[in-house]
Chain A
Amino acid sequence: MPVFLAFCLSFFLVSTGFGKEPDLSIHLSRQMVQKISGLAAGELKHAFWLDLESGTGSQANLSLNLALPFSEIPGSIAVNGRNQQISNLLTPLCNRAGEIFENASCAADGTGRPQDGIKLRVRVPFGMRILEDSGKTLHLQSHNKPEISASYDADIQRYLSLISQAADISARIEAIYRDEATPWEQLRPGMETLVRDLRAVKALITRFESRSAFFAIPDAATIRRLLSQARVEETLRQAVSNSGASLEQLVLGDDLRVSLKINQVARVFAPYMPGVVMSKMEVQMLSREGSEAVPYLLLEGEVR
């Protein structure tokens, strides 16, 4: 009798889905989120990328980073109510492309001027609320004002390439840590090389990020003009559709809040989860022993 009851109970639990583990669970690091968003943009991967900055549960602090060709931005913008020539305002931190990655920093002397090869960077910080049907729709609502700065196109491309390299090396390192079939002493030399490589790559990433200060917050009209002239909505729509998802809405309010809604966002991650239907997406702050918590994007799904 007890055996029969246990059988019935287990059947009930399985049939109702109670206690069912997901078939697949993936934690994506900040670099991986940047890499995937860049890949999702396909040929336009240097046009935008998403950055996972912090967050927890259904709330995430993301930023949408746009890199706009200088030729497509207006000649003047309004900052703090004053109209200023963009050529006077937007000077890259360094005088030459590549200097931003060098050991000694490039002290700004103001001689760098926007020209071909320089892109305007627009960072739109988002407080992302992940909806219940997160596998289908992603609703991003900005909670802060967009910021702009200027960077050399070559530097942005190298930065994104470094992000991609860091994500790849991190994945290889994780795979080695998980390889418990091989004695650690055999794995150690290769691991130390990978860790050295990763530290070197991340040092360059940090240099770019710490030296690429955003310094100007344009007004709403300027931002609207920038987004329009740079065809941001079309660019995003095309990039998102490359991955199988679709952009339903991009709205810029007068208060500079940006609302972005993407349908079928799960398809963006589909190449990384073949045959899997995503059932859950949330941000978790994870920490390992002795380390500080950092944000990861958690994706769970069922194999169909």
Chain B
Amino acid sequence: MKRLLMMALMSSVCFGNDPAPGFEDLTVTGQTRSAEANAPLMPNNGVEATVLDSLAEDFHGGNAGAPVARPELPFRPDFEATISMDNVKYWTRWALETLQGTKKPIRMIRYHLTGKGVLVQVVADYSLVSAALQIPGSGLAYGPGQIFLSPDQRQAGPASRDNLCVMVSVEVELPGALRGSEPAPGAISVKPGAPEFRVFYEVDLQEYAGLMAEKGSLERQMHSANREQHRRITTRLMEVDEKIGNFDGTVLPVTATPALFRILAEALNSQKLFGDKITLSIVGDKFVVERIDAEILRFARVGLQFDYAGIMSGAGGYRISIAGRIRRRN
């Protein structure tokens, strides 16, 4: 009976002819289920597309050519799935919707899917972390908006610490395999990288968000553009790419301190950003993404065991590949 119930739960989560975004490659076979029935799989299902959708989209480079398959596993997985950028962008959307318009110290959380894992970016008010993070010099050497230019072109601005934001970025590396391990339900062990710090004005964050939104919009328009529109879109896209690239490339030579992480952790936890959906926390001097995805959690909750989590690349961009077995309970 238990086994039957488990299988029913699993099929209600996994199976479908028209799967939710990010689950197009689900390869478990079995009964079919409608897209409506899969609705709970879709983060923020029913929320209208907004600029946040665009902001959550991103181009992560990589990946022209044939898709890279996951390595052969030393067992026959009972289920496997790939989670595309479409899914990851919803994580950003969750965070943005939660934070939009608030005056709380955490201003934005953004996710990227990269070749190694997931890049998590947390933007906080400078005043929140000022005690633990000293900007070299008396302030920024350039004024608002200059961060989007290359360093050669930036004009010196008034040294200021007013209306500043700090972005902390950590690339969380997904393990290539979790063979032999049995992660606790809802948790995938991950390996955080060295954090990077960027400091900029609050208006720069707004422009950055606007540029990301514009980039997504231009990329979508490009596919149906005629010759002249295509030329115009390409020109503008290059400019937007360059501005975003200059922003992303401006990293402060600052070393993370435990105090900084403690402050950020307290802010993140007190804002209860994600509820049950995603838990981003900080333990000691490391970022830990305890729950990579609510949907992965669903697998775990119905008794599935993760045996593999890795990154694949293909024509559509990077994807997280997961595979595992039905947990056998003694």
Contacts and interface: CB of A to CB of B under 8 A. Distances in A.
A56 interface: no
A195 B64 contact: no
Contacts of B239: 291-292, 294
Interface in A195-243: 195-196, 198-200, 202-203, 206-207, 209-214
B251 interface: yes
19 contacts: A53-B153, A54-B153, A63-B152, A103-B114, A103-B115, A107-B251, A187-B227, A195-B234, A196-B64, A203-B241, A206-B241, A207-B249, A209-B152, A210-B245, A210-B249, A212-B151, A289-B232, A290-B233, A291-B232
A125 B241 CA distance: 25
Contacts, number: 96
Interface of B: 59, 61, 64, 114-115, 119, 150-153, 171, 193-194, 196, 222, 226-227, 230-239, 241-242, 245-246, 248-251, 253
A211 B249 contact: yes
A5 interface: no
Contacts of B253: 107-110
A213 B196 contact: no
A103 B196 CA distance: 12
B152 A105 contact: no
Interface of A: 51, 53-54, 63, 103-105, 107-110, 123, 125, 173, 177, 180, 184, 187-188, 191-193, 195-196, 198-200, 202-203, 206-207, 209-214, 288-292, 294
A107 B151 contact: no
Contacts of B119: 104
A214 B151 contact: yes
B245 A207 contact: yes
B287 to A, nearest CB: 14
B249 A206 contact: yes
A288 B196 CA distance: 36
Contacts of A53: 152-153
B232 A198 contact: no
Given A177-B227, A209-B152, A107 B241 contact: no
Nearest to A123: B152
Given A63-B152, A291-B232, A202 B64 contact: no
A206 B242 contact: yes
A212 to B, nearest CB: 7
Contacts of B61: 103, 200, 203
Contacts of A193: 64
Contacts of A199: 59, 237-238, 241
B297 to A, nearest CB: 27
Contact of B246 (A180, A206, A288, A292): A206
Nearest to A214: B151
A210 B226 CA distance: 33
A205 B237 CA distance: 15
B231 A177 contact: yes
Contacts of B171: 104
Contacts of B241: 199, 202-203, 206
Given A196-B64, A288-B232, A202 B152 contact: no
A107 B232 contact: no
B235 A291 contact: yes
Contacts of B242: 202, 206
B245 A288 contact: no
Contacts of B232: 288-291
Given A104-B196, A209-B152, A288 B227 contact: no
A198 B237 CA distance: 11
B151 A202 contact: no
Contact of B249 (A105, A180, A187, A200): A105
Contacts of A123: 152
B153 A288 contact: no
A199 B60 CA distance: 11
B251 to A, nearest CB: 5
A201 to B, nearest CB: 11
A150 to B, nearest CB: 14
B152 A107 contact: no
Given A53-B153, A54-B153, A288-B235, A210 B246 contact: yes
B151 A213 contact: yes
B234 A290 contact: no
Nearest to B230: A191
A105 B247 CA distance: 12
Contacts of B59: 199
B251 A211 contact: yes
